[in-house]
Amino acid sequence: MRYALLLVLGLAVPAAAQVPPNIAAELQKIGQIVDPACTAKLYRPLMPKNDFNTYWPPDAAQPATSSTGAALYPGVTIVRDQSFGPNPKDVLDIFVGEKGGKNRPVLIYIAGGAGNKIEQQVRESNAFYDNIGRWATKNGMVGVLVQRHPGSGNWDDGGRDLSVAADWIKANIAKHNGDPNHMVMWAHSAGNGPLGVYIGHPERWKNGVQVQGAIFMSGNPVPTAGAPGGGAGRGGFGAPGAPQPGVACGLSGASMTSAEGHISGPSGFSATPPAGRGGPGGRGGPELTPEQRAERDNLPGFKKTTVKVALAYAELDPGIMNAQLPANIVALHDEMCKEGRCPEMWMLKGESHMSEVFSVDTSDQTVSKPVLAFVKKVK
């Protein structure tokens, strides 16, 4: 009860309302759905003219090396598709600014949806998520974009893949002027599931958890917190009567490769199996035994972790009502606070599910400002 009272008194810090008025009006028009294509059209004009496809696919004159990256965004070197693990899709991009010296903080972005580190639904989407890597370099960090991919069906596949990525980054990032002892992972949407497993189960990874901070944005990293009941509520993408993606900006058949249907009703966005069911992504599978439920539960690990945690939602996320954080996120906060490990909580006013990540490296600092402050103080 005491923690709930603190929340009411303002523990959930709203980010300053900095969404440009013209974009804010269009986001309201799109509504509380997951709409990458129309959201990309709003933010693409605020990005550089060049994007991922400017020199892609590569040819003899523009090889796919860091020199291509330097030409793409002046002052920024990009190492594309660096392998970090055994799967052919275990690749990441590294963004390094020409200025800044050594031992820079490292921001590691874990995309939602299908896990694409570059979105390609519509022409405007080709600017994302280079915007996050580029923004990191402008603020004295090294940016890393990790490609996610489907696992083999084991419940901990996503967390294991992130552990391999984190191990590689830890061992190699100093070569790119990054500080291996100052690393923050930031997950969006469906990326929260794998990152939740990674943070919640350090005993399962070869080198434990290698990051000092974790940002969970618009997703549920601990489905058992506050269960049963509670959460973001129903609605949004796929809900009966909800607006359809692409309608607001005149598109038809808008591709949803970054949304992958990961809304799970009253528990909000979840990419891990709910407490009682098995199967990849929590969709179907046999009933779990109590032992299996205990093994897969992220909550005990979150209550013990020394990793600093931030929990965030957008005001226009599907199911969010009255700019209030979901009940399951509040429950997770309260459980961690009982152990003296209170996470930060952010309500991103005026932002939508996709604008919160598409807005980075623009004049809209509603998201980037608290992310930067969090990275700076986490060590």
Structural domains in the chain plus CATH codes? 2-377 (3.40.50.1820)
Cβ neighbour number for residue 203 with a 10 Å cutoff: 8
For residue 337, pLDDT over 60 is answered with yes
d(CA 228, CA 239): 21
- Cα 158 to Cα 272: distance, rounded to the nearest angstrom: 9
* pLDDT above 80: residue 45: yes
pLDDT digits (tens, 9 = 90+) for 199-234: 999 999 999 999 999 999 999 999 998 765 433 433
Across the chain, what does the average pLDDT equal? 84
Please tell me whether residue 5 adopts helix, strand or coil conformation. helix
Q: Structure tokens of 153?
A: 């069906």
Q: How confident is the model at residue 379 (pLDDT cuts 50, 70, 90)?
A: confident
Q: Please name which of 328, 154, 188, 163 lies closest in space to residue 262, comparing C-alpha atoms.
A: 188
pLDDT at 54 over 90: no
Give CA–CA dist 39/34, Å, rounded: 9
Overall average pLDDT of the 277-284 stretch: 46
Distance CA 236, CA 31 (A): 8
Q: Which range (20-29, 231-240, 290-299) has the least confidence?
A: 231-240
Which tens digit of pLDDT belongs to each residue from 340-359?
999 999 999 999 999 999 99
- Give residue-wise pLDDT tens across range 64-117: 444 444 468 989 999 999 999 999 999 999 999 998 899 999 999 999 999 999
